């Protein structure tokens, strides 16, 4: 472990926006610390060290303590980040035996060595391109099929580039953050899914739509269609690849139906939206772009990304990422981990972000907001919880037999 910072240590001042900072999952044994999480996560990771940190939070009520973990998105995505809990925590109250420290740490590469490696990578790029071309020529029918599917997927992405309807949810952001969370029972979500059909992801996105609808109405804004397009990360990992610690995600663009007042109709709308996106194979477009990036010289790819960040962005209003967590309890030093609360960074013009994480029958929604423009982030949290309650009530009604007519 690089360093375990006690919470009374000096905080690091923010130096950059979240898009250059971290992907993180906060592991918190219940405590009233939204402002603390926001402050820790707002700080840019120190580039003089490996791009991860753990913060130890001491002095909580009832003898409790907490960990806040912060990991750069280049190192892990949501699935592999979740797998790290098996490394940090124990699966039983009996602490695991210490692992013998027999590892040797290689010396840090010099600037000359890094430059030489980069030059070698660039020199090998034409070889990788030739190998990719040879593979395509060896199976022309398969290459044509893949190219056709990718082209269709990219074409289907075109409507997602249409600017969202204007609202207070999108616009310039600063470097400071607000943070809070909402909670729900996984059993309740499963009951809603069984009664009203759909998936767990459909139900949580319907509840998030309810939260954003509440937020807009509380600000005196009338929710409209295409007002809250959300970036929805999709894992590209095959089963068994959860412990490969790198980033393997693509994205979908989903319109959250905040304009629909009825909770059951709202769930049906998000269910149809996600089914259409999956049928269109939209995630393949992002996967194709990532694959092409591996065959592009880094300076060119880097320039393209930097230019893209400078372009005005009105197509995405929020990000909603859902990662299933451990279903069984975890332990640290014989103490049970009570709760895992997720965090997702925001960037560009995204003033809010929602991360969903499940652990031991509980689903937690971690809500990140821009400090200056989202002082009412608690309205979003309570709106999500109210959305679950509305759907649960509707699910109960769905099971009740109708009274005979006449």
Positions marked active-site? 73
253 backbone dihedrals φ, ψ, rounded to 5°: -115, 110
> 384 near 365, Cβ under 8 Å?
yes
Question: DSSP alpha helices (H): ranges in 283-376?
Answer: 283-293, 298-310
* CA distance linking residue 121 with residue 321, whole number of Å: 33
Q: How many helices (H) and strands (E) does the chain have?
A: 11, 13
* CA distance linking residue 78 with residue 323, whole number of Å: 6
Tell which residue, 209, 210, 225, has the closest CA to residue 166. 225
What H or E segment, with its residue span, contains residue 398? helix 377-399
The 3 state secondary structure assigned to 185-247 is EHHHHHHHHHHHCCCHHHHHHHHHHHHHHHHHHHCCCCCCCCCCEEEEEEECCCCCCCCCCCC
For residue 157, give the DSSP letter.
H
* CA distance linking residue 279 with residue 400, whole number of Å: 33
The 3 state secondary structure assigned to 124-159 is HHHHHHHHHHHHHHHCHHHHHHHHHHHHHHHHHHHH
> 130 near 179, Cβ under 8 Å?
no
**Three-state DSSP state, 323:** strand
Half-sphere exposure of 154 (CA within 13 A, CB side): 10
Strand-strand pairing, 318-323 and 352-359: parallel
């Amino acid at each position: 472990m690089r360093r375990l910072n006690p919470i009374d240590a000096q905080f690091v001042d923010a130096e950059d926006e979240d898009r250059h900072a971290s992907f993180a999952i906060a592991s918190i044994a219940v405590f009233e610390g939204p402002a603390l999480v926001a402050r820790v996560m707002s700080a840019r990771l120190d580039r003089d060290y490996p791009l991860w940190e753990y913060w130890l939070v001491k002095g909580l009520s009832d003898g409790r303590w907490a960990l806040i973990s912060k990991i750069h998105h280049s190192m892990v995505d949501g699935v592999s980040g979740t797998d790290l809990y098996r490394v940090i925590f124990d699966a039983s109250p009996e602490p695991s035996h210490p692992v013998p420290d027999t590892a040797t740490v290689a010396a840090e590469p010099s600037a000359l060595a890094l430059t030489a490696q980069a030059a070698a990578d660039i020199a090998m790029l034409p070889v990788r391109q030739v190998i990719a071309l040879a593979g395509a020529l060896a199976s022309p029918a398969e290459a044509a099929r893949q190219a056709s599917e990718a082209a269709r997927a990219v074409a289907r992405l075109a409507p997602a580039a249409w600017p969202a309807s204007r609202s207070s949810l999108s616009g310039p952001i600063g470097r400071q953050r607000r943070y809070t969370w909402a909670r729900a029972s996984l059993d309740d979500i499963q009951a809603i899914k069984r009664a009203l059909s759909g998936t767990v992801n459909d139900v949580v996105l319907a509840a998030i739509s309810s939260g954003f609808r509440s937020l807009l109405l509380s600000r005196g804004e009338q929710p409209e269609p295409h007002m809250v397009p959300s970036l929805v990360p999709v894992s590209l990992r095959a089963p068994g690849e959860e412990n490969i610690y790198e980033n393997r995600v693509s994205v979908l663009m989903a319109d959250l139906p905040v304009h629909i007042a009825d909770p059951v109709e709202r769930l049906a709308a998000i269910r149809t939206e996600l089914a259409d996106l999956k049928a269109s194979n939209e995630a393949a477009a992002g996967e194709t772009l990532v694959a092409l990036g591996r065959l592009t010289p880094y300076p060119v790819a880097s320039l393209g990304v930097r230019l893209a960040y400078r372009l005005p962005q009105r197509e995405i209003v929020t990000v909603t990422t859902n990662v299933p967590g451990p279903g069984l309890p975890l332990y640290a030093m014989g103490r049970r981990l009570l709760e895992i609360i997720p965090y997702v960074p925001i960037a560009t013009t995204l003033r809010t972000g929602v991360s969903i994480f499940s652990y031991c029958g509980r689903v937690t929604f971690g809500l990140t907001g821009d400090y200056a423009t989202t002082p009412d982030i608690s309205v979003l949290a309570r709106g999500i919880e109210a959305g679950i309650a509305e759907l649960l009530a509707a699910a109960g009604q769905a099971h009740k037999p109708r009274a005979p007519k006449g």
